[in-house]
Amino acid sequence: MTPQFWLWLGFSGMSVGAALILFIGKRRTRAEEADTIIHGLVPIIAACSYLAMASGQGSVVLPAGPDAGAATRAFYFARYIDWSFTTPLLLLGLANTAMHSGMRRPAIVWGMIGSDLIMIVTAFVFGLTQVAWLKWTWFAISCGAFLGVYYGIFVQLREENARERDDVRAAFLRNAVFLSVVWLAYPVVLLLGDDGLGLLGPALGLGIIAILDLVAKVVYGLMATMQTAKRVERDLREGHPVAGGAGRPHLAAAE
């Protein structure tokens, strides 16, 4: 498989995934509508990123390393722009699941998003840097910020999620573990790929990232959207005045 194959596969998969999420997502409450839009936007943004990379507009050619002579590598900067928008949206969706009955501590969400953006920006600089000690310093800082995101998910959000009913707690834990396991593979691929040690090769590195992206943005988005629909169905069936913590049901009568 060539690098172009994986880039066009990423574009096609994200486009189809966005259409599916927006098609199956319901809008019976404000929270459900927000969840549908969040998880629909994620693959739309990613599709734009993959289109830019596949068409040659989302990458630049850099030296393969300080001792590589004339050897070069493609640096796909568009993926970092993608991640700067999509991962905060995924964290927001996860926080909405954790605090289904109401967004009680928005500072937690801002803290996670802040750590997430630090992680992405420093990973971007890691990929650009040619000086070895600086390169790995940036990588270490990025990994440290990544741990901050995990702290927000599994400590702070879980504390708030403990106040929710059983199905909400189960959904949050399932989503948090799924997303966190997939995300854990990204720094490993960056470490071993062309931006790091160069052990994977261009096509394999792109292929693994494309599959991870499709799982984290399309598969997870579909799963989260369907789970939200089940929770809102229970809210409406039991007559909760606030469904999903973001206002009263406002479209249920129309459906």
Cβ atoms of 236 and 252 within 8 Å: the answer is yes
**Burial annotation 19-53 (CB, 10 A radius, 16+ → b, else e):** ebbbeebbbbbbbbbbbbbbbbbbbbbbbbbbbbb
Q: How many domains does the chain contain in total?
A: 1
Q: For residues 80 and 27, which has the higher predicted lDDT (pLDDT)?
A: 80
Residue 101: the pLDDT is 81
pLDDT band at 250 (very low <50, low <70, confident <90, very high): very low
- Mean pLDDT over all residues of the chain? 89
Longest distance between any two alpha carbons in the chain, whole Å: 69
Helices and strands, counts by H and E, the chain:
9, 2
As a whole-number percent, the residues of the chain with pLDDT over 90 amount to 70
Closest to 153 (Cα-Cα) out of 126, 198, 183:
183
Per-residue HEC secondary structure of 86-129 comes to: HHHHHHHHHHHHHCCCCCCCHHHHHHHHHHHHHHHHHHHHHHHC
> E-strand spans in the chain?
60-63, 72-75
User: Domain containing 101: what range?
Assistant: 3-254
pLDDT at 196 over 70: yes
pLDDT in tens, 165-175: 888 999 999 99
Report the CATH number at residue 177. Answer: 1.20.1070.10
